[in-house]
């Protein structure tokens, strides 16, 4: 009997014992092709010798030093690496242990910025429906995914949710991309005016929506235009790149691909690639200067901020990606994966949409392609696909649940940046078997 409190209390999990490139091997020696990086985490695969060496070296020198006593070389070097490559003037980096913590830090920085700037009335946050920003209570409140929020709603702070830029379901047949984007941008402006033009402190969005929708990029100049509205009313823009950032979409920062310069930018997952738990919030000079000339103190903190071993691991991961020019492979293999998915599934009666960017791809499952009617959530199709895929030796990331008051299933693919064409063939073949098996037993 396992004494571990797993998320699913009713399921038995295989015991993972070893990593080998893009594969995880279990205690029965079964190999699983990792086509989702767990949850878009393991972007370098599971056995990178340079990263392992960097961790060993750091642990033997200094595993950890509390950040209110010391700074450390790996923390300083990682912050410099990120700040030099980030869009705009995001020159300060606050290190945490994961994505939810990065979002919490961004929200609190936004609030403290406005308090110290003399605008404490700015307390509203605007986010989007069908978004996910983490599972701690503040981050959960910020996300608009009903399935994850429902039973915690009485405890959550009040956040205003707008329509996502989700063309497959939200764009009207009569609208081209420009008209769709204009409608969404107007929705944001209307909401700011409704709440009071000096009452909103921040807008938060994922540049490419991950866990809740399955790799949905925005269309047209959506992000540039949303940012322009935020600037008009002094609303800070928080880009949540926890899942889509750090190279996943083919650029180190997904915001850069959208010509978006956020005021706060959250990263995690691919930052440490799973070799160590680490996240970060990148902060603009304007926010930092306001705090410097105010309290001089960020009223926040966790025990493991800037953990030296985690920073050393993340720095080694990022150098590996840059030195081996793996983002070119993300672009090339991303295109190849998209083509392979189209080839395999474009005529499949239950695949409604195939989408994404770089090595961040999603498939949306529907009962009927013409009406886009989703499957009944009681079928738990996504869970059946995951189980069938694991039986085939494939890790993919199917999700479902009640989204926006309706049912829906999608599959998220986020393979390591070292994926090659053979891995893609294996992925598509196994995924096809898993989907068809799950549909047959549904």
Q: For 197-231, give one letter per residue: b (16+ CB within 10 A) or e.
A: eebbbbbbbbbbbbbbbbbbbbbbbbbebbbebbe
Q: Which residue in 21, 38, 39, 149 binds ligand PLP (CB under 6 A)? A: 39
Q: Does 242 bind ligand PLP (CB under 6 A)?
A: yes
Contacts with ligand PLP in 248-287 (CB under 6 A)?
A: 268
25 touches ligand PLP (CB under 6 A): no
- Give me the residue label for tokens 């981050």: 139
HSE at residue 95, side-chain half, CA atoms within 13 A, is 31
CB 386 within 8 A of CB 431: no
Residue with tokens 């096809």: 432
Under the binding rule (CB under 6 A), the answer on residue 161 touching ligand PLP is: no
Of residues 133 and 384, the one with the C-beta less far from ligand PLP: 133
Given the rule CB under 6 A, which of 127-135, 230-238, 330-338, 339-347 is the region that contacts ligand PLP? 127-135
Q: Which of 95, 132, 180, 397 binds ligand PLP (CB under 6 A)?
A: 132
C-beta of 141: minimal distance to ligand PLP in Å? 13
The span of 79-87, 193-201, 238-246, 302-310 binding ligand PLP (CB under 6 A) equals: 238-246
Q: How many other CB atoms are found less than 10 A from the CB of residue 122?
A: 23
With binding defined as CB under 6 A, does residue 206 bind ligand PLP? yes
Q: Does 137 bind ligand PLP (CB under 6 A)?
A: no
Buried b (16+ CB within 10 A) or exposed e, 300-316: beeebbbbbbbbbbbbb
Q: How far apart are CA 269 and CA 252, in angstroms?
A: 13
x/- map, 97-126, ligand PLP, by CB under 6 A: -xxx--x-----------------------
Q: Which is nearer to ligand PLP, 392 or 409 (CB)?
A: 409
The site map against ligand PLP for 53-92 (x = CB under 6 A) is ----------------------------------------
Pairwise CA distance, residues 406 & 442, whole Å: 19
C-beta of 45 vs 98, nearer to ligand PLP: 98
Nearest alpha-carbon partner for 193 in 112, 185, 110, 286:
185
Verify binding: residue 138, ligand PLP, rule CB under 6 A.
Answer: no
Angstrom distance (rounded) from CA 301 to CA 287: 17
Q: Which is nearer to ligand PLP, 268 or 381 (CB)?
A: 268
Shortest Cβ distance from residue 281 to ligand PLP (Å)?
11
Could you count the other beta carbons within 10 Å of the beta carbon of residue 331?
A: 16
Of 46, 111, 124, 133, the one binding ligand PLP by CB under 6 A: 133
Q: Which is nearer to ligand PLP, 106 or 327 (CB)?
A: 106
How many residues in the shown chain lie near ligand PLP by CB under 6 A?
A: 15
Extract the tokens encoding 328: 């070119």
d(CA 333, CA 340): 10
211 binds ligand PLP (CB under 6 A): yes
The interface region with ligand PLP, picked from 19-27, 87-95, 130-138, 313-321 by CB under 6 A, is 130-138
228 CB-near residues (< 8 Å, 6+ apart): none
Query: In the bound complex, what is the minimum distance in angstroms from residue 96's beta carbon to ligand PLP?
Result: 9
How near is the Cβ of 100 to ligand PLP at its closest, in Å? 3
Considering only 34, 48, 240, 353, the residue that binds ligand PLP (CB under 6 A) is 240
Interface residue with ligand PLP among 210, 262, 306, 374 (CB under 6 A) is: 210
Contact indicator for 122, 131 with CB cutoff of 8 Å = no
Residue nearest to ligand PLP (CB): 99
**Residues of this chain that bind ligand PLP (CB under 6 A):** 39, 98-100, 103, 132-134, 206, 210-211, 240, 242-243, 268
């Amino acid at each position: 009997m396992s004494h571990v409190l797993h998320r699913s209390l009713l399921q038995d999990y295989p015991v993972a014992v070893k990593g080998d490139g893009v594969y995880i091997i279990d205690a029965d020696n079964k190999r699983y092709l990792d086509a989702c990086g767990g949850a878009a985490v393991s972007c370098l695969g599971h056995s990178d010798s340079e990263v392992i060496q960097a961790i060993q070296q750091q642990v033997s020198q200094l595993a950890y030093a509390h950040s209110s006593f010391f700074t450390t070389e790996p923390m300083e070097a990682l912050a410099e690496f990120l700040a030099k490559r980030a869009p705009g003037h995001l020159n300060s980096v606050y290190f945490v242990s994961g994505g939810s913590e990065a979002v919490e830090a961004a929200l609190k920085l936004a609030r403290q910025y406005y308090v110290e700037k003399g605008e404490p009335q700015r307390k509203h946050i605007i986010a989007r429906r069908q978004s996910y920003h983490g599972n701690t209570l503040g981050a959960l409140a910020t996300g608009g995914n009903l399935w994850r929020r429902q039973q915690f709603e009485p405890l959550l702070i009040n956040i205003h949710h707008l329509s996502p830029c989700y063309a497959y379901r939200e764009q009207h047949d009569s609208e081209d991309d420009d008209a769709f984007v204009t409608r969404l941008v107007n929705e944001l402006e209307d909401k700011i005016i409704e709440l009071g033009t000096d009452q909103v402190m921040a807008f938060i969005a994922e540049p490419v929506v991950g866990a809740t929708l399955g790799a949905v990029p925005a269309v047209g100049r959506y992000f540039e235009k949303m940012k322009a509205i935020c600037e008009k009313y002094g609303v800070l823009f928080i880009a949540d790149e926890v899942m889509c950032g750090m190279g996943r979409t083919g650029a180190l920062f997904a915001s850069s691909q959208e010509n978006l310069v956020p005021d706060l930018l959250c990263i995690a997952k691919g930052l440490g690639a799973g070799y160590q738990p680490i996240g970060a919030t990148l902060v603009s000079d304007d926010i930092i200067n306001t705090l410097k000339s105010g309290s001089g103190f960020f009223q926040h903190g966790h025990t493991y901020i800037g953990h030296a071993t985690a920073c050393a691991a993340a720095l080694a991961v990022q150098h590996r990606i840059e030195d081996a020019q793996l983002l070119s492979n993300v672009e090339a293999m991303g295109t190849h994966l998209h083509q392979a998915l189209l080839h395999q599934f474009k005529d499949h009666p239950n695949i409604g949409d195939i989408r994404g960017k770089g090595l961040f791809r999603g498939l949306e499952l529907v009962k009927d392609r013409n009406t886009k009617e989703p499957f009944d959530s009681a079928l738990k199709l996504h869970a059946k696909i995951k189980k069938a895929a694991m039986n085939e030796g494939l890790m993919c990331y199917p999700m479902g649940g009640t989204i926006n008051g309706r049912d829906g299933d999608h599959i998220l693919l986020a393979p390591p940046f070292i994926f090659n064409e053979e891995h893609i063939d294996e992925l598509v073949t196994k995924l096809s078997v898993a989907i068809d098996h799950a549909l047959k037993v549904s």
